[in-house]
Amino acid sequence: MRASGGLHAAIALVIGVLLLSTVPAPARAGEWGMIVAGTSVMQDVRSRYGEPTRITVQKVEARDSTQWIYEGAQAPVGMTRMTLDFGLLTPAGYRPEIVRSFTLQPKAGIFTRTTIVNGWGVPRVPPGSGNPMFFYEEGLLVAFDKEGWMVESMTFTPPQPHQPDPAPAPR
């Protein structure tokens, strides 16, 4: 008994979907290690990484903002330090428990320019910066060493859409 053409098409579709589901997607820029800037909350971070090495509270624009630092043995694997800043002004008001941004400082050689491009894609590069930097509108700023190869820090934020330069004033 021969399978019909429709059955062959259905089998091909299923195989195609299965193959595509095994291809890793690029990381979203504003996330790393199950932390999503602008979405994750203190409890998400605490349950994933435990208690921070140090906690500070400071005023940012007249609001209490908390900073957690994980360093040394408490830093995520491959990092020397992870710094999280909490407190985000949302349309619903100020939310002190939301991750506003976080910065990773990787150990030497953990992330290179190639690793970043493979993981997050081709970036926008801010002009005139001292050290080479990559900027992703989805919420990632990567600073490289003087040679532009090794990552010194990665700062994750909520999306930062590019604002085009204003048109020059008419003369």
* Domain presence at residue 109: yes
pLDDT tens digits, residue range 104-130?
999 999 999 999 999 988 887 655 556
Instruction: Find the length of the chain.
Output: 171
CB atoms within 10 A of CB 24: 7
Query: Can you give the pLDDT at residue 171?
Result: 66
Whether the CA torsion 27, 30, 34, 39 is positive or negative: it is negative
CATH code of 44's domain? 3.40.33.10
Separation of alpha carbons 84 and 48, rounded Å: 13
Both tokens assigned to 95 = 């939310």
Number of domains composing the chain: 1
Query: What is the structure's pLDDT at 31?
Result: 82
Confidence check: pLDDT of 52 > 80: yes
pLDDT level of residue 98 (50, 70, 90 thresholds):
very high
Residue with the bigger pLDDT between 4 and 26: it is 4
For the segment 123-163, what is each residue's pLDDT rounded down to a tens digit?
876 555 566 889 888 999 999 998 889 999 999 999 987 66
Spatial CB neighbours of 70, under 8 Å, sequence gap ≥ 6:
49, 52, 53, 76, 79, 81, 82, 83, 84
Question: pLDDT at position 164, please?
Answer: 66
Asked if the structure places residue 137 within a domain, the reply is yes
Tell me what pLDDT residue 144 has.
Answer: 93
Judge if pTM exceeds 0.85.
no
Is 167 within the bounds of a domain? no
Determine, yes or no, domain membership for 52: yes
**Is residue 9 domain-resident?**
no
Question: Which residue segment(s) compose the domain that 152 sits in?
Answer: 31-156
165 vs 136: which has the higher pLDDT? 136
Judged against a pLDDT cut of 60, whether residue 19 lies above it is answered with no
Domain assignment present for residue 123? The answer is yes
107 domain residue, yes or no = yes
Mean pLDDT score of the chain? 82
